[in-house]
Chains A and B, each alone.
Chain A
Amino acid sequence: EADIYQTPRYLVIGTGKKITLECSQTMGHDKMYWYQQDPGMELHLIHYSYGVNSTEKGDLSSESTVSRIRTEHFPLTLESARPSHTSQYLCASKPTGAQFYNSPLHFGNGTRLTVT
């Protein structure tokens, strides 16, 4: 079905470390998204991209950054991890085009990040 991959699945890291969460999709989708989600809470959009070299911040203020050098790859980087960054990070994608406006997002399995 949907081929979108996130690595690592789980990460425990100390405060101050730099980390990169990987997200790749093999569907050729132009639109990609990063969400942050805590238990019992809604998904919050932190970054999105509508194509190569296009990145935008989402609704939730985040200290992370993203890049989109290749269509299939949308990594998220935290320069200095803090305990407040502990959360689940979900990557998603969908195709571009008017016929896909209401197409559902395809999600990866997420990265559960714990910062100690």
Chain B
Amino acid sequence: DQQVKQNSPSLSVQEGRISILNCDYTNSMFDYFLWYKKYPAEGPTFLISISSIKDKNEDGRFTVFLNKSAKHLSLHIVPSQPGDSAVYFCAASYTDSNYQLIWGAGTKLIIKP
């Protein structure tokens, strides 16, 4: 049973517009969430994270929103740039899991010029 779900395998967005990537989770014990970005033939690189005590975290063009009641988080990229084209993974962890990460299957973001 997948505990972290990214239901959109791909997303296409016009350059300069907002990209919104979504992630749902089922385990209410998760207390920390991260987003990673992955280019083909490279390893994932950390993008932004959020603790369950917050509902928003912002870093430059990237903002992550957490809705605990809905068990949903989203990553907003504004404005979208061609270099943002990549696969974005959502991951979650909780204290009793020794902070092992549970990963979503990723969303491929394509930024159109």
Contacts and interface: CB of A to CB of B under 8 A. Distances in A.
Interface stretch (A35-43, A62-70, A73-81): A35-43
Interface stretch (B54-62, B64-72, B74-82, B96-104): B96-104
Interface residues of A, number: 24
B92 to A, nearest CB: 11
Query: Which of A42, A102, A112 counts the most chain B CB atoms within 10 A?
Result: A42
Nearest to B104: A42
Interface residues on B, range: 20 to 34
Contact of A9 (B41, B45, B93, B101): B41
B41 A110 contact: yes
B42 interface: yes
A48 B93 CA distance: 16
B76 to A, nearest CB: 19
Q: Chain A contact residues: over half helix, strand or loop, or mixed? A: loop
A45 B43 contact: no
Interface string A104-116: 1111111010000
Nearest to B91: A43
A68 B38 CA distance: 27
A108 to B, nearest CB: 5
B4 interface: yes
A40 B49 contact: no
B100 A45 contact: yes
A105 B46 CA distance: 7
Contact of A107 (B43, B103, B104): B43
26 contacts: A4-B43, A41-B106, A42-B2, A42-B4, A42-B105, A43-B89, A43-B91, A43-B103, A45-B101, A48-B100, A90-B44, A92-B43, A101-B95, A102-B32, A102-B49, A102-B51, A104-B34, A104-B49, A105-B46, A105-B101, A106-B46, A107-B44, A108-B43, A109-B41, A110-B42, A110-B43
Given A42-B4, A43-B103, 13 more contacts: A4-B43, A6-B43, A41-B105, A42-B103, A42-B106, A43-B101, A101-B95, A102-B49, A102-B51, A104-B34, A105-B46, A105-B101, A110-B41
